[in-house]
Amino acid sequence: MREDGPVSRESLWRAPRAEAPVDASVTLPGSKSITNRALILAALASGPSTITGALRSRDTDLMIQGLRALGVAITATPDAATGTTLHVVPGPMTGGAVDCGLAGTVMRFLPPAAALADGTVAVDGDEQARTRPLGTILDALRGLGADIDGTALPFTVHGRGGLRGGTVTIDASGSSQFVSGLLLSAARFDEGVTVRHQGGSLPSMPHIDMTVEMLREAGVTVHTPGESGDADTWKVLPGKIDPVDWIVEPDLSNATPFLAAAAVTGGTVRVPLWPSRTTQPGDAIRGILADMGADVRLDDDVLTVTGPKTLRGIDIDLRDIGELTPTVAALAALADGPSVLRGIAHLRGHETDRLAALATEINKLGGAVTETDDGLRIEPRPLHGAQWHSYADHRMATAGAILGLVVDGVDIEDVGTTAKTLPGFENLWAAMLDESASAEQGALS
């Protein structure tokens, strides 16, 4: 794994050590996945929509800015109780310039919408994003009638105010976002769309389920593989997209580092407003933590995790929940036995090669992580402090913070990359530890 160049001390964040088991309640902002899907659907709807509890982060702000560049009116109203409410008024979309940053949802969800614009849409992103695979969705759009120059960032969409649509066969084994991106805009295509996946197994199926559920909430007719009997095929019928007043759930994947804090310190963390039913992949952390020895309870809408004296190793297929891999890898590095994380070869095409990055950084701390064809094998070892590179990857940064709770001297480079999905992570992390310290002091007095 290539390491970044020299890092100045000023750019490092010393991950705080937990001096005692954590004991805190942590309230998380809204889901990035839901927010960005709701933004696309609202931008293409037949009337104005609101998105209550929307996440404001780099990824969601890039989606907002991208849609505004195409002529969609979006205004934000902060609310102390619910977070940000977005008011989205769709209109005729025009050409413009779109910055994707490193946001996979923007670079894969926005091009199908851009093909409906009347004008040229120039799309680019961060330098690291130019290596992310996009040919699958861009070639699919060409097959549906779009005029697009390029196979990766930067690329240009020559919109003609509409798109024919039809049937397309893709290999989406690299990312479920290729399927979701096509489905989200498909009702506005003249013929709708039929998407057939042909290739390796599909990762992150819960994210496709989320897309289908949100489409149906917006009045769109969707046929899934289980309903049509046609394996790995989704069909969206042409028609209007209804305006919806969306309510965004807390981001459950962003909750996982905080719940992991309870697990690795033998403490307790409570997360309010945890949904009893959800399509968010982050909900799977409940079963993972329980399998590793934690006590996990969902009472009303509060999820409470209490860590064990010792974490157990785990053998798990994370194909559908790959975004949890950095958190699970950090937990496994602190367990009392070996772990095997499987089904996640597709993570080599995320913000960075997450498998190589995790192996490199945990091993720098004294760990014993080896890459397999489709995952990681993690043997627990005594860990020590070292510099932890984030690779501009928000989940790499939070994995380092988890380890830093119980390992002295973990210095995280560019912790600010967490703003991609969770602005103010460092403050939330510090608040968790401050609340824990106050609780301990109160118990002793």
Active-site amino acid positions: 323
Instruction: State whether residue 219 is helix, strand or coil.
Output: coil
Contact status, residue 144 vs residue 189, Cβ threshold 8 Å: yes
The per-residue DSSP string of 346-390 comes to GGGGSSS-HHHHHHHHHHHTT-EEEEETTEEEEE------EEE--
Query: In the numeric block, which tokens belong to residue 213?
Result: 């559920």
Distance CA 426, CA 20 (A): 19
Residue 382 burial by Cβ neighbours in a 10 Å radius (0-12, 13-18, 19+)? exposed
Looking up tokens 């851009």, which residue turns up? Answer: 114
Contact status, residue 78 vs residue 98, Cβ threshold 8 Å: no
Q: Identify the H or E element spanning 7.
A: none
What amino acid occupies position 199? Answer: G
Distance CA 360, CA 85 (A): 40
Nearest to 164 by CA among 142, 137, 195, 138: 142
Residue 227 burial by Cβ neighbours in a 10 Å radius (0-12, 13-18, 19+)? exposed
What residue ranges in 15-72 does DSSP mark as E strands?
23-25, 49-54
Nearest to 198 by CA among 232, 225, 228, 175: 232
CB 7: neighbour CB atoms within 10 A? 15
- What is the β-pairing status of strands 245-247 and 49-54? parallel
Please, what is the angle between helix 104-114 and helix 32-43, to 10°?
10
Contact status, residue 5 vs residue 251, Cβ threshold 8 Å: no
Integer Rg of the chain from CA: 22
Residue 444 burial by Cβ neighbours in a 10 Å radius (0-12, 13-18, 19+)? exposed
DSSP assignment letter at 30: B
Looking up tokens 């049937």, which residue turns up? Answer: 167
Looking up tokens 């960075």, which residue turns up? Answer: 352
Instruction: State whether residue 341 is helix, strand or coil.
Output: strand
